[in-house]
């Protein structure tokens, strides 16, 4: 909302400089966003909050200033015009239009508008058109009530009907655009056709021109919902609809109609030959008085406010106030729908006094009644710390994804669609982070950052609900070490190790990777991630064709995505202290030829047969040479034997080791190499 200082001075003698006024308005809740010089005028751009449609007018703003400086508001005196039957107006539906005042004025002469008032309008960015049109605009900005003037001779059948448009009906609006209407849009029609889109814009062909002699002046109360929906549907907005959408007081229609009639008679001549005020629906009954006591003020603000001062402020704002010793009774003015309860009244007083002039106290933050599971609350944060410690960079990517990007990752599952997506690139809730992570990887690679260790803690969204996930992506080489200049390539075992180490530290029980296929990964290069027996995610080498679709060339990319709600649920309590073994350990290495995917089985079997002294099995080397039988791999394992009670002898360790190897051969069909 714009505010012209010269225009404001017509209504109030505030005695403030532009800077002072700007500051005081801002600190009373009418934030001045810009101040502009316009000739000898100063124009403020004010952010009016949606609860204050009354401030979308010069008089509304002047009333605020009057409360701020505690000086009288000079409201223009407006004439009274009696109803006569000579204008035919009908309202089809009271819910759409509560009131329609039509005033017919004959014998006018269309001329330029009064120079002084024309200057005010220019502050609002309105170019002068003609006295009649400019008067409707002037009163729009003065009272906040949109008006429209029809050329009465162009209304067919001398009729005004406020009705819904018919499907397919057309109108060319004042901006010279032909618009197609439907039943959801309210129009003003004559006997045959729509002549205006109600509350939004008039029709071109029934507007006032230089040759107009008779006008019909409209001032109406439309339902804010129907205007709002029509404006959105048509993609058309205007100063009128901006105000109707926010709600205009029922009574304003009358004052504004009379004010415009006064001005037309004064500046364009003519006589009122007819006027109808059609009331389809009375406004809500009398305002309920709100009683505010000294105690109420103390309780809400934590500070006393002088009731005499409160009364003064409220009266300046247009309230009717009755004061008693320890309370005031307040009846809000008709244009303030936002004042309904005590808190509203107290806010009115507090904002004019200035929040910064109210005291402050440090509250006692109450002992909270909410039991927090620290383990769960800090899980994400600790998991983040683990990955950061392991050299991963945390990323934040969008939760939305396009169908095309998702399809590139061969995703086939269910998705949640947005109804009102802004673009095809953001039309789905992502069911996986893979596409967005690949976009990040590709962008980095394009900028020469080819060694990537990335992770995100975010969500995936499925028709069953949203789930927290950990996504990890690696590509390129491991971190440099000048002592070993040849840098090795990152692969899935970097991700698996990071997951194992982090989950180990966070005491997530039983996380295993099992052989599995997934359309996102190269054949035979992927795993399912199981946590405590539940399918929790997947990991693998992203399929080459997918990489190509994301413009990732000449790079291997590994990715994992794990449901960390499942992981968090699988956290076991901190273990009991285990005494450190004091007796010497003995290590036996063994080379085995195994079928693929056997390590977990081997480990389990070994430990089962380890008689409590096989303490650790380390994977030392993977051998894949041609000396092995087809479909086999060579594992070199290192087994650590140690007793908590005594020093083991060579013989007993060798004996036990052979027993274990025999079991492996017997049960798992592995071969010794």
> Which residues inside 237-266 make contact with another protein, applying CB under 8 A?
245-246
Backbone angles phi, psi at 23, to 5 degrees: -65, -45
Minimum distance of another protein from residue 418's CB (angstroms): 5
How would you class 76 by CB atoms within 10 Å of its CB: exposed for 0-12, middle for 13-18, buried for 19 or more?
A: middle
Q: Does 291 engage in binding with another protein (CB under 8 A)?
A: no
Q: Which of 49, 209, 514, 604 binds another protein (CB under 8 A)?
A: 49
| Nearest CB to another protein, comparing residues 419 and 488 | 419
Round to whole Å and give the CA distance between 79 and 105.
15
Round to whole Å and give the CA distance between 478 and 304.
66
Binding span for another protein by CB under 8 A among 277-285, 447-455, 573-581, 632-640: 447-455
Binding span for another protein by CB under 8 A among 49-57, 78-86, 266-274, 279-287: 49-57
How would you class 74 by CB atoms within 10 Å of its CB: exposed for 0-12, middle for 13-18, buried for 19 or more?
A: middle
Do residues 472 and 392 touch, judged by C-beta distance below 8 A?
yes
Q: Does 375 engage in binding with another protein (CB under 8 A)?
A: no
Q: Which of 95, 177, 322, 388 binds another protein (CB under 8 A)?
A: 388
Q: Token pair of 27, please?
A: 């600190």
Do residues 262 and 81 touch, judged by C-beta distance below 8 A?
no
Minimum distance of another protein from residue 430's CB (angstroms): 11
Longest dimension (CA), the chain: 125
Contact map string, positions 96 to 135, toward another protein, x by CB under 8 A? ----------------------------------------
Name 537's bridge partners: 529, 562
DSSP annotation of 157 reads G
| Nearest CB to another protein, comparing residues 29 and 274 | 29
Q: Does 359 engage in binding with another protein (CB under 8 A)?
A: yes
Residue (of 614, 587, 597, 601) closest to 664 by Cα position: 601
User: How close are the terminal C-alpha atoms of the chain, in Å?
Assistant: 86
Q: Which of 135, 263, 278, 350 binds another protein (CB under 8 A)?
A: 350
How would you class 651 by CB atoms within 10 Å of its CB: exposed for 0-12, middle for 13-18, buried for 19 or more?
A: exposed
Neighbour tally for 618: CB within 10 Å:
11
Round to whole Å and give the CA distance between 221 and 587.
92
Q: Token pair of 462, please?
A: 């499925």
Give residues 389-408 in contact with another protein (rule: CB under 8 A): 389-400
Q: Angle between the 131-143 and 239-246 helix axes, to the nearest 10 degrees? A: 30
| Nearest CB to another protein, comparing residues 10 and 426 | 426
Binding span for another protein by CB under 8 A among 110-118, 478-486, 529-537, 575-583: 478-486
Minimum distance of another protein from residue 437's CB (angstroms): 9
Sign of CA dihedral 49, 50, 52, 54: positive
Round to whole Å and give the CA distance between 672 and 662.
10
| Nearest CB to another protein, comparing residues 42 and 384 | 384
Minimum distance of another protein from residue 463's CB (angstroms): 7
Q: Does 351 engage in binding with another protein (CB under 8 A)?
A: yes
Minimum distance of another protein from residue 42's CB (angstroms): 20
Q: How many residues bind another protein (CB under 8 A)?
A: 88
Integer angstrom CA distances of residue 478 from 217, 423, 488: 78, 38, 6
Contact map string, positions 293 to 322, toward another protein, x by CB under 8 A? ------xxxxx-------------------
Residue (of 373, 368, 381, 421) closest to 398 by Cα position: 421
| Nearest CB to another protein, comparing residues 151 and 348 | 348
| Nearest CB to another protein, comparing residues 27 and 294 | 27
Q: Does 466 engage in binding with another protein (CB under 8 A)?
A: yes
Q: Does 343 engage in binding with another protein (CB under 8 A)?
A: yes
Round to whole Å and give the CA distance between 536 and 216.
72
Give residues 183-242 in contact with another protein (rule: CB under 8 A): 224-225, 228-229
| Nearest CB to another protein, comparing residues 300 and 607 | 300
| Nearest CB to another protein, comparing residues 454 and 606 | 454
| Nearest CB to another protein, comparing residues 418 and 620 | 418
Q: Does 147 engage in binding with another protein (CB under 8 A)?
A: no
Q: Does 431 engage in binding with another protein (CB under 8 A)?
A: no
Minimum distance of another protein from residue 192's CB (angstroms): 31
Backbone angles phi, psi at 107, to 5 degrees: 80, 30
Do residues 541 and 522 touch, judged by C-beta distance below 8 A?
yes
Contact map string, positions 481 to 510, toward another protein, x by CB under 8 A? xxx---------------------------
Binding span for another protein by CB under 8 A among 38-46, 421-429, 503-511, 574-582: 421-429
Q: Does 368 engage in binding with another protein (CB under 8 A)?
A: yes
């Amino acid at each position: 909302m714009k505010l012209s200082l010269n225009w404001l001075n017509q209504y109030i003698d505030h005695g403030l400089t532009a800077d002072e006024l700007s500051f005081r308005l801002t600190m009373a809740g009418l934030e001045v966003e810009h101040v502009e010089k316009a000739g000898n005028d100063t124009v403020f751009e004010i952010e009016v909050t949606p609860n204050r449609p009354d401030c979308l007018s010069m008089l509304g703003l002047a009333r605020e200033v009057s409360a701020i400086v505690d000086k009288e508001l000079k409201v223009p005196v407006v004439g009274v015009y009696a109803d006569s039957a000579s204008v035919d107006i009908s309202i089809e539906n009271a819910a759409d239009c509560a009131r329609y005042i039509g005033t017919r004025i004959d014998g006018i002469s269309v001329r330029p508008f009064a120079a002084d008032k024309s200057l005010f309008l220019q502050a609002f960015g309105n170019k002068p058109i003609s006295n009649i049109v400019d008067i409707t605009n002037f009163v729009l900005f003065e009272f906040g009530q949109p008006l429209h003037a029809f050329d009465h001779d162009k209304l067919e059948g001398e009729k005004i009907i406020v009705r819904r448009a018919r499907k397919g009906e057309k109108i060319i609006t004042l901006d010279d655009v032909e618009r197609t209407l439907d039943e959801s849009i309210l129009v003003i029609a004559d006997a045959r056709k729509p002549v205006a889109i109600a509350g939004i814009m008039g029709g071109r062909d029934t507007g006032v021109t230089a040759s107009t002699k008779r006008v019909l002046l409209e001032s109406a109360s439309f339902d804010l919902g129907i205007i709002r929906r029509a404006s959105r549907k048509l993609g058309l907005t205007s100063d009128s609809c901006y105000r109707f959408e926010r709600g205009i007081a029922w009574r304003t229609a009358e004052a504004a109609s009379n004010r415009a009639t006064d001005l037309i008679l004064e500046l364009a001549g003519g006589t009122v030959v007819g006027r109808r005020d059609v009331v389809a629906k009375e406004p809500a009954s009398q305002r309920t008085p709100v009683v505010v006591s000294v105690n109420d003020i103390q309780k809400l603000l934590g500070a006393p406010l002088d009731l005499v001062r409160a009364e003064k402020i409220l009266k300046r704002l247009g309230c009717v106030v009755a004061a008693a010793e320890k309370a005031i009774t307040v009846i809000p003015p008709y244009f303030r729908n936002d004042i309904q309860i005590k808190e509203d009244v107290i806010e009115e007083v507090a904002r004019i006094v200035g929040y910064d002039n109210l005291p402050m106290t440090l509250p006692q933050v109450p002992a909270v009644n909410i039991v927090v599971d620290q383990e769960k609350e800090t899980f994400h944060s600790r998991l983040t710390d683990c990955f950061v410690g392991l050299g991963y960079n945390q990323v934040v990517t969008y939760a939305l994804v396009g169908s095309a990007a998702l399809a590139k990752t061969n995703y086939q599952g269910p998705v949640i669609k947005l109804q009102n997506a802004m673009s095809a690139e953001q039309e789905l809730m992502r069911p996986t982070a893979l596409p967005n992570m690949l976009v990040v990887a590709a962008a980095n690679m394009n900028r020469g950052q080819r060694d990537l260790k990335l992770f995100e803690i975010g969500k995936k969204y499925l028709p069953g609900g949203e789930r927290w996930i950990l996504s990890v992506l690696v590509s390129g080489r491991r971190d440099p070490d000048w002592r070993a200049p040849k840098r090795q390539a990152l692969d899935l075992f970097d991700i698996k190790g990071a997951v194992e180490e982090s989950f180990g530290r966070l005491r997530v029980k039983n996380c295993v990777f099992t052989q599995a296929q997934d359309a996102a990964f190269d054949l035979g290069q992927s795993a399912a991630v199981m946590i405590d027996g539940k399918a929790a995610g997947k990991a693998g080498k992203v399929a080459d064709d997918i990489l190509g679709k994301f413009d990732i060339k000449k790079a291997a990319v590994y990715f994992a995505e794990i449901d960390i709600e499942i992981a968090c649920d699988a956290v076991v309590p901190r273990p009991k202290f285990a005494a450190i073994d004091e007796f010497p350990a003995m290590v036996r290495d063994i080379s085995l030829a195994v079928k693929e995917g056997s390590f977990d089985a081997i480990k389990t079997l070994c430990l089962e047969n380890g008689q409590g002294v096989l303490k650790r099995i380390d994977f030392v080397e993977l051998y894949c040479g041609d000396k092995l039988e087809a479909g086999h791999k060579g594992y070199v394992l290192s087994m650590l034997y140690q007793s908590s009670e005594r020093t083991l002898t060579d013989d007993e360790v060798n004996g036990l080791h052979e027993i274990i190897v025999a079991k492996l051969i017997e049960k798992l069909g592995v071969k010794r190499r």
